[in-house]
Amino acid sequence: MADRYLHHPFRFGAQGGVAVIDDPDRHLRDKVEAVLFTAPGERVNNPDFGVGLNRTVFDGLNELTVAALEFRISQAIRRDLGDEILVDAVDVEAEPESGTLVVRLAFRRRTDRRPRNLEVRL
């Protein structure tokens, strides 16, 4: 029988029960996205959790804020998911002309060490 994971973020399934998924890569990606989009202070019992990536959309896009964002992302992923993944690289690219922020994360699951990538565009 395959491993089953609670859907992250938590929600109810079609038959009224708790939604579960069988794909461990999808589950890990959902957890990484939760860290990226949860603002620090948003979780009551874990105020340091998250990066608050959606709040950075309104910050100025210069070299200093991009470097600080890369640091915050790598630290948050290592702190909040360090027992599950190894972060290889965090690359934040700002395109001020179009107002786009691109976050590329290269990481490996600790169990199999296979490289994985995640790209988020804001």
Q: Indicate the residue type of 40.
A: P
- Convert the pLDDT of each residue in 16-72 to its tens digit: 555 566 677 887 888 898 899 999 988 888 889 989 888 877 777 788 888 999 999
**Distance between CA atoms of 5 and 45, rounded to whole angstroms?**
22
pTM here is 0.78
The conformation of residue 23, written as its DSSP 8-state character, comes to: -
Q: Taking all residues of the chain, what is their mean pLDDT, rounded to a whole number?
A: 82
Helix (H, G, I), strand (E, B) or coil at 21: strand
CB atoms within 10 A of CB 94: 20
Instruction: Please give the Cα distance from 90 to 13 (Å, whole number).
Output: 34
Quick: pLDDT tens for 14-29: 555 555 666 778 878 8
CATH number of 25-121: 3.10.450.40
